[in-house]
Amino acid sequence: MKRIATIAEMKAACRQVARTGKTLGFVATMGALHEGHLSLVRASESRCDVTAVSIFVNPLQFGPAEDLDKYPRTLERDAALLEQLGADFLFMPGVEEMYPQGAQTYVLVEDLSNRLDGASRPGHFRGVATVVTKLFEIVRPNFAFFGQKDAAQVAVLRKLVNDLDMDVEIVVCPIVREKDGLAMSSRNAYLTSEQRQQALVLHRSLLRVQTAVEQGEHDSAKLIEIGKQAITEEARARLDYFAIVDPDTLDSVADVSRGALVAVAAYVGATRLIDNILVTASPQ
């Protein structure tokens, strides 16, 4: 695996892949890699000739009171994992390389960026859209792999690619969970063992909703109540949002008969966690 820290070198390496007619898959990450990330790398490797991974903790997508400084940085461990998996390129630019002094261009997917996590984290999706646009221009991948766990991010990035006519196909891979159901996240590293147990309430709330849907409840307002109620049963968790929306537009849907994204965000201690499921109501 080749480690690359400059944009010029990464562009040259990726353009060389394109010249040889090989397909290039790309996995953008902020490091602190877990099985969720590794599943994206494996998906890329099984679909593409060459796989590039980036590790860049993007300051632009963190709010002033968020966890930029303490975000886990485990570069050597991450690089070893990627090497083992057989990734071809690891792009690991510094902040100055990506955002040199004087940079003043941002990418904003206007409406979608204010929904779900965007509503709670102003500026977050502007930061994500800007860095992903830059990374896509540097790598110019044929396929880019993202996790369903960040469902709102997926919606924003699909819209971005569509609106800007980018020649990249977004491939969304399923959420990877721990054995007890906790969705894998780099931020799980912040949790104490007690909080780790409390965090299971997110998945539990989604399962309650799924069961209710399977039992014939399709009314979103009622399903949201069921989900919120489940969260209140864990006194240490503080709900941010519980929403039932269209997975592409992130608009609320009144009932789930035609399928919907059920998404939850909650704080456990100071750690904000997210999770979601896609429900499809079986025909009555």
CA 43, distance to chain mean position in Å, is 15
Using DSSP's 3-state secondary structure scheme, residue 278 falls into strand
| Interaction between residue 275 and ligand PAF (CB under 6 A) | no
Is 253 a residue that touches ligand PAF (CB under 6 A)?
no
Residue 145 phi/psi, 5-degree rounding, is -110, 125
Alpha carbon distance 160, 248 (integer Å)? 12
Among 13, 28, 161, 176, the residue binding ligand PAF under the rule CB under 6 A is 28
Note whether 116 binds ligand PAF by CB under 6 A: no
Cα torsion 156, 158, 164, 167 to 10°: value is 150
Residue listed under structure tokens 């991010």: 153
Among 10, 30, 112, 223, binds ligand PAF (CB under 6 A): 30
Binding residue (CB under 6 A) for ligand PAF from 40, 43, 131, 138:
131
Among the listed residues 93, 87, 139, 132, the one whose alpha carbon sits nearest the alpha carbon of residue 113 = 132
What DSSP state is assigned to residue 7? H
From 25-33, 81-89, 214-222, 242-250, span contacting ligand PAF (CB under 6 A): 25-33
How many other CB atoms are found less than 10 A from the CB of residue 206? 22
Nearer to ligand PAF, 37 or 218 (CB): 37
Residue 181 CB: number of other CB atoms within 10 A?
A: 14
Question: Which of 33, 92, 128, 223 lies at the binding interface for ligand PAF (CB under 6 A)?
Answer: 128
The residue range among 23-31, 193-201, 230-238, 254-262 that interacts with ligand PAF, by the rule CB under 6 A, is 23-31
Which of 37, 124, 203, 218 is flagged as catalytic?
A: 37
Would residue 37 show up in a list of annotated catalytic residues for this protein? yes
3-state helix, strand, coil in the chain (%, to 5): 40, 20, 35
Strand (E) or helix (H) holding 138: helix 124-139
Q: Cβ distance 28 to 2 under 8 Å?
A: no
Per rule CB under 6 A, is residue 78 in the interface with ligand PAF?
no
Q: Which of 78, 117, 150, 275 binds ligand PAF (CB under 6 A)?
A: 150
Q: In the stretch 45-64, what mask flags binding to ligand PAF with x, by CB under 6 A?
A: -------------x--x---
29 binds ligand PAF (CB under 6 A): yes
Residues of this chain that interact with ligand PAF (CB under 6 A) are 28-30, 58, 61, 128, 131-132, 150, 153
Active site residues: 37
